[in-house]
A and B are shown apart, each in its own frame.
Chain A
Amino acid sequence: MKNEMLTVAEVTAKIENGDVMVLAGAEDLLTQLPKGKWIGGTTVYFVTDTGGAVVRDKVFCTTFPEASGAVPRFVDVADLPSIAQGYAPNGFTMIMIPAFSVAHSNFAIDGQTYDGLFNQPLAGWITGVHLDDLGTRAPKVFDGATGIGHEEGAVLLHCALPEGSHVDLDILNIFAQGDQKELSFSFPKGGFSAGTVTVDGKEVNLARYIEENKIDTRLPLVANYAGALVNVSIQAVDAEAGEVKFYAPVVEGVEYKLARALGSYSEAFAQGAGDKGDGEYSCNCILNYLYGELEGQRTGNFTGPVTFGEIAYILLNQTLVRMDISDAA
């Protein structure tokens, strides 16, 4: 696997060479690319070799020379549950979904119940735009089979691997669960927003509770999925309306704990990454970029797009997703 920042001309040459790639960049760059074995998504935020940066004139390109074949595929909202039907034997699948789309919401809520979804590694991200363009420009995904950009649905790159290859898909979450019972929350109903929540056995309105207790909403709510720490980030708190909105859905019956406060996000990533990252696929969250002030800062050896949500089987928030491929023995 190889990560590079390339010009449109350089990416075009790779596509024409038949390279299997996932791409990230500004919409006006992705629209110029020829058809081929690739999928792409819009963002202008990246973590590069020299640190976090806004890049508008180059495309971040991850090439999979390990792949023995690849099929780009666009699915509309109705066909989202059929994601696994395109899985290549002994392969992996990359996925991109536009932020704020119906597909984004449906995948977040129902994705993990789609038939066969877990039957091979599924990694990717939610595409975005520059924050100054929110509300005026829509995030898009691009299907290399047609070269067409879409504001709705999802693009998939179903990749095949030689027999014996191994894909290691995991997350690097720099947040840990806090241990204060008054910052531990259970929701009576799942979804992207919440009113009532149970805290330490008492029902309260979450929005007012956050305001009254001056809770730092830059910290995610962290659930423990049998040892995997999964974040839900807080998008907005409206104490008057009594509603809190989230960037990913909370799940009914799951206990969430507010994350412990962090010092330097960059140092936390470097510590968590160790010597991993070189030659691996990764994406990281726009909230980590913003709250952690990652512009100009590195995240260990990991490079990749900065996104409006990360996918490792399910939608994640404020998390680095990483994937490595080992050659057949």
Chain B
Amino acid sequence: MIPDATDPRWTRVLTSESDLSATSLATRILISRLRREVASAPATLAAKIGELRDFVGKNAFAVADVARF
């Protein structure tokens, strides 16, 4: 099950520098880009959370990654 968009894990993972070595390659690369975009335009956070949730919804392996955020 994919956490709701209001779940604090989404904001935390996109606004921190936490290491995600235990997650899949796709998750690491995507989040790295989303972090840069949020850092340069904080108002886009909600949209970037939506993009990350869409990605998780389309990749079964990424659902397990969320638990590591």
A interface with B by C-beta (< 8 Å): 112-113, 116, 118-121, 166, 169-171, 225-228, 230, 251, 253-254, 312-314
CB distance B23 to A121 under 8 Å? no
> In the assembly, what is the distance between CA of A227 and CA of B40, in Å?
21
Known: A227-B19, A313-B26. A118 touches B59 (CB 8 A): yes
Chain B residues whose CB sits within 8 angstroms of the CB of A226 once the complex forms:
18-20, 23, 27-29, 31-32, 35
> In the assembly, what is the distance between CA of A171 and CA of B29, in Å?
12
Nearest CB in chain B to that of A87: its residue: B58
CB distance A228 to B28 under 8 Å? yes
Nearest CB in chain A to that of B18: its residue: A226
B47 close to chain A: CB less than 8 A: no
Distance (whole angstroms) from the CB of A125 to the closest CB of chain B: 16
> In the assembly, what is the distance between CA of A113 and CA of B33, in Å?
9
Count of B residues near A, CB < 8 Å?
24
CB distance B20 to A313 under 8 Å? no
Q: List 13 A-B contacts (CB under 8 A).
A: A112-B29, A116-B58, A118-B29, A118-B55, A226-B18, A226-B32, A227-B19, A227-B23, A227-B28, A228-B21, A228-B25, A313-B29, A314-B29
CB distance B58 to A119 under 8 Å? yes
Distance (whole angstroms) from the CB of B45 to the closest CB of chain A: 17
B39 close to chain A: CB less than 8 A: yes
B interface with A by C-beta (< 8 Å): 18-33, 35-36, 39-40, 55, 58-59, 61
Known: A227-B20, A253-B40. A121 touches B28 (CB 8 A): no
Chain B residues whose CB sits within 8 angstroms of the CB of A225 once the complex forms:
28-29, 32
Name which of A166, A169, A226, A230 has the most chain B CB atoms within 10 A of its CB. A226
> In the assembly, what is the distance between CA of A169 and CA of B27, in Å?
11
Chain B residues whose CB sits within 8 angstroms of the CB of A313 once the complex forms:
25-26, 29-30
> In the assembly, what is the distance between CA of A253 and CA of B28, in Å?
17
Chain A residues whose CB sits within 8 angstroms of the CB of B20 once the complex forms:
226-227
Given contacts A112-B30, A226-B32, A312-B25, 8 further A-B contacts (CB under 8 A): A121-B26, A169-B25, A225-B29, A227-B19, A228-B32, A253-B39, A313-B25, A314-B29
Chain B residues whose CB sits within 8 angstroms of the CB of A116 once the complex forms:
58
Chain A residues whose CB sits within 8 angstroms of the CB of B19 once the complex forms:
226-227
Distance (whole angstroms) from the CB of A272 to the closest CB of chain B: 14
Q: Among the listed B25, B33, B55, B59, which residue makes an inter-chain contact with A170, where contact means beta carbons less than 8 Å apart?
A: B25
CB distance B26 to A118 under 8 Å? yes
Chain A residues whose CB sits within 8 angstroms of the CB of B36 once the complex forms:
251, 253-254
